[in-house]
Amino acid sequence: MLLTDIAVEHTITPPKGGKSESVVLHPFTNTQRDSLGKFEIVRTVSEPGARDVKRSTFVSMPQLAELYAKGVLDEQGFAVRMCAAGGKHPKITPIKKLLPAHIKPGSSFDLAVKAVDVSKPATRELRTALLRTNVKV
């Protein structure tokens, strides 16, 4: 399922030249067992004595809305795995940093973000999901 309430334009450039193509990307839910119906968020983590590595975790739509409302995605440098509306992309699905400006105003996701009570602490499930990315909320 695509979350069409969030959209980002992406330009695909062929590696051997040719005409570039612009597509609109949306976050999409995973179709695999434990992460079924969840969105993948990715963050680059610096580990002492090692090179930077990408860590990812899967969050539900309400958890994604909570992360947006609390500013965690932008503050911690998270990006979201994206997919084109037609489901076609020449290589792996790209990750994109998404700003609140990419959310359609008045959409159901926008309303979910606005409904989050930012004064309440994050749920245990969300805190557990973010442990893999070295983020505490």
DSSP letter, residue 103: B
Which range is least confidently modeled, 86-90, 94-98, 103-107, 130-134? 86-90
d(CA 23, CA 120): 38
Read off the pTM: 0.86
pLDDT digits 0-9 by tens, 40-64? 999 998 878 888 889 999 999 999 9
Distance of CA 93 to the CA centre of its chain: 12
